[in-house]
Structure 1
Amino acid sequence: MTGHLSRRSLLALAGVGTGALLTAGCADGKSDVSAGPQTIDWWHIQNTEPMLPVWAEMARLYETRHDNVTVEVQPLENEDFKAALTKATRAGSSPDLFQSWGGGLLREQAEAGLVKDITAQVQPWIGQLLPAALQPYTVDGRIYGVPFDIGMIGFWYNRDLFAEARITSPPSTWAQLLAAVRKLKAAGIVPIALAGKDKWPGHYYWAYLAMRIGGLGALQHAAEDGNFDTPDFVAAGQRFRELIELRPFQPRFQRAEYGSAGGQAAAMGNGEAAMELMGQWAPSIQASSSTSDRGIGGQLGFFTFPVVEGGKGEATDAFGGGNGFAVGRDAPPATVDFLRTLLRSENQRRAAETGAVLPTNLAAVGRIKDPNNQVVAAHLAVATGFQLYLDQAFPSAVGQQINDSVAQLIEGSRRPEQIVKDITTVAKQSQ
């Protein structure tokens, strides 16, 4: 499962040709919310400002309008959530409503009977959502989750620090990126912030390089035959090592987490690093993690991952994904109705206003006001192809091996030609 989105759907995301976006919010659908007292156990990872209070308020309002329904909200840090969900699913259960990125893990959950097929229940209103965003949550034509956000990974950078290092424009090629890193280091500036402890941020580099070198076709072939032991994937590791050998990351990056104090987002938000490779949520997490509570403000810029000279990939091929929710197998009847409430246009607009969400409800898409989100949406509008995060697109064991292997590449304990063999071994076993 590689999650390729059509250009027409990506255009809709940015509000291009959106005559159909003037429709109202989600249509009413049938959902049993009157079947006695019900408690919805809701796990999400928006555990900081700005979305933490927004989700809490939406849950509270739903409870006031449905006096027989209680929503127990459990905000969890990303890695804590993954560990808790793994523990729950291994025990044969799952929360009623929980964070999902779709892809290979959701397929495994569906095949194990841990999530509910909600295809029939969402039919009255699912047409209000961006079709492309729904793709990772659809398994063999059946819907097991609903996306509330979609975006892409790119470089966020500090304009002031670039200017201090005499970098006049964002790099558009891999050679230019390496040159920019050298200039930043020469100026005494940390070039890149990285959450080495979390591992998943590191895999973005290798995945993007594989796309730029081998094109989307390289990822498609790997999804089909489970073989990562190819020249393109080896070359991706070799190019990444070119960057790693420049020692571009902040001190103690291997112990740094993404959203914690002193972590990757905080380094950017406090102006302690010039760049980070991260998704559309980065500005809001930078702000909430910084000592100023606003990050670096208008000095924050965005550029897409550079092309690799001689590579087959397009500069406009995007890598990323979105956030959504899956419904647990034993969730009470009101759960899907509550999920529908979260996806209503007025609630999606409110989420978009925080700057932390690029909405998937078509009626809210054209209302993106945050300048950073507008930039991301504009890049998505001209995207010629789209690849879902590799640690989500493939089965969970493969995704974990990719993260682990890239972490080993970064620390220097495994070479590029070794990690592709390790990943291939797990991928073959998972087929």
Structure 2
Amino acid sequence: MTTHLSRRTLLGLAGAGAGAYLLSACSGDDKSSDPNAPQTINWWHIQNTDPLLPVWAAIANEYKTAHTNVTFDIQPLENEAFKAKLTTVTQAGDPPDLFQSWGGGVLKQQVDAGLVKDLTDDVKPWIGGLLPAAIEPYTIDGKIYGVPFDIGMVGFWYNKDLFTRAGITAVPTTWTGVLDAVRKLKAAGITPIALAGKDKWPAHFYWSYLAMRIGGKDALQKAVTDKNFDSPDLVAAGDRLKELVDLQPFQKGFLGASYSSPDGQAATMGNGGAAMELMGQWAPATQATSSTSKKGIGDKLGFFPFPAVDGGKGAATEVFGGGNGFAVGKNAPGATVDFLKFLLSADNQRTATKTGAVLPTVKEAASAITDPNAKTVADTLASYTGFQLYLDQAYAPALGSQINDSVAELIAGNKSPAQVVKDITQVAKTV
């Protein structure tokens, strides 16, 4: 997930590989209480491609220039590689100083294990400038353990020209309408939906949204509380997803496709190879950078929220999504929190927002949203009546991973909707 922010121009860093982003990773007395002692901040993030990769590097370089005793060791990692590597180092009790976080259940586990710093007092002077909804996933038992730089939601991004070619004159407002649109697109010889089947997390968006629309957001919360996902509403979510899968709407080879690879989900959309994808607010920027032209489909791209399900208890104003943020490791040098404050300054948030890859969490930076689709996302988010964090972040890691795995099995045709919820329930009972 990706989301996924600010772009500065590059300071000669654009186009370089990840190794070029090691900014003077010299060793020093990082843990000294002397604020002027040499400090190296080990920073891991998942903005490993344009437009954010050079932006983060430029912001770090700017901070380093102003604080000559501070250097950075920056490791940009692909989303799944990041999660795997972070799991390894946190299990060893040695988290990075500053690292990507989506909050929720994963962050809570890190808090319970004593791996991250309580930032409540450190951020108190400036956290009020951020949107309260954005801070929520990073607040555990009333204390703040992370700071978000991006907030948004998942919805359908679509190619207006391909919709027109298929004779679709209005975006779907119901799930039945989505299925009808898929049929029309297929009849016109157009691939309806791009999906990164290999990565699994993009597929869980479909099941999660259908669960919310059919049972309401509270159905998911009840399932976690009761440790039981085997309910009629959640089985029905799988049934409705299977209706889509049975139409064979995805691009050729989707089961082996990742999200941001040259032939993956984002590139398929950015090159005009599919009509829709269900993805977060970072989709336009990732489509563009993943496309052959590096520009995507431009003003041909539109957005519509995940529609209602006929007879469902959930409102179409309940949204599914989240933001991107950072947590601070337990042994991070003192400059880390100060750098985080700098990263979240209004100017840096505006820079990130102007790239189109970020919806800002700093209230003052909202004026930097200029893209019409981003404004639509922001307006939809502003009128939400319920918010559900991505399930693979909201829940304990084992449970979130099982949801991703089980939904992937359903989409591959290997598990029935009823078996999916049984498998998820089995893991829910153990966490």
Whether TM-score is above 0.5 comes out as yes
Q: Which runs of 5+ in 2 are unaligned?
A: 1-32
State the alpha-carbon separation in 1 of the partners of residues 34 and 228 from structure 2. 47
Residue 232 of structure 1 aligns to a residue in which SS?
helix
Q: Is 2:309 the partner of 1:288?
A: no
Match of 2:418 in 1: 417
State the alpha-carbon separation in 1 of the partners of residues 34 and 79 from structure 2. 30
Deviation at 1:267, TM superposition (A): 0.2
Match of 1:38 in 2: 39
Match of 2:153 in 1: 152
Match of 2:175 in 1: 174
Q: Is 2:148 the partner of 1:135?
A: no
Deviation at 1:96, TM superposition (A): 0.4
- 1:265 maps to amino acid: A
Deviation at 1:34, TM superposition (A): 2.0
Q: Is 2:391 the partner of 1:390?
A: yes
State the alpha-carbon separation in 1 of the partners of residues 227 and 101 from structure 2. 23
Q: Equivalent residues in 2 for 1:339-418 (5 A)?
A: 339-418=340-419
State the alpha-carbon separation in 1 of the partners of residues 314 and 289 from structure 2. 35
Match of 2:107 in 1: 106
- 2:130 maps to amino acid: L
Deviation at 1:367, TM superposition (A): 2.8
Deviation at 1:306, TM superposition (A): 1.3
State the alpha-carbon separation in 1 of the partners of residues 221 and 361 from structure 2. 25
Q: Equivalent residues in 2 for 1:223-262 (5 A)?
A: 223-262=224-263
Match of 2:269 in 1: 268
Match of 1:52 in 2: 53
Give CA-to-partner distance per residue, 1:302-345, whole Å, 9 cap, x none: 00111110000101111000000000011011100000000010
State the alpha-carbon separation in 1 of the partners of residues 139 and 218 from structure 2. 22
Could you say what the CA RMSD is over the residues aligned between the two structures, in angstroms?
1.1
TM-score norm. by structure 1 comes to: 0.91
Residue 202 of structure 1 aligns to a residue in which SS?
helix
Residue 61 of structure 2 aligns to a residue in which SS?
helix
Deviation at 1:72, TM superposition (A): 1.4
Residue 149 of structure 2 aligns to a residue in which SS?
strand
State the alpha-carbon separation in 2 of the partners of residues 100 and 33 from structure 1. 28
State the alpha-carbon separation in 2 of the partners of residues 147 and 69 from structure 1. 23
Residue 381 of structure 2 aligns to a residue in which SS?
helix
Give CA-to-partner distance per residue, 1:78-126, whole Å, 9 cap, x none: 1111111111112111110000000000000000111111111111111
Deviation at 1:33, TM superposition (A): 7.5
- Mean Cα deviation higher: 85-94 or 325-334: 85-94
State the alpha-carbon separation in 1 of the partners of residues 214 and 367 from structure 2. 34
Residue 311 of structure 1 aligns to a residue in which SS?
coil
Deviation at 1:35, TM superposition (A): 4.0
Match of 2:13 in 1: none
Relative contact order, higher structure (CA 8 A, sep 6+): 1
- 1:347 maps to amino acid: N
Residue 260 of structure 1 aligns to a residue in which SS?
coil
- Mean Cα deviation higher: 85-94 or 365-374: 365-374
Give % identity: 67
- 2:348 maps to amino acid: N
State the alpha-carbon separation in 2 of the partners of residues 131 and 260 from structure 1. 34
State the alpha-carbon separation in 1 of the partners of residues 118 and 319 from structure 2. 29
Residue 430 of structure 2 aligns to a residue in which SS?
helix
State the alpha-carbon separation in 1 of the partners of residues 269 and 295 from structure 2. 11
Match of 1:4 in 2: none
Match of 1:23 in 2: none
State the alpha-carbon separation in 1 of the partners of residues 223 and 135 from structure 2. 23
Q: Which runs of 5+ in 1 are unaligned?
A: 1-31
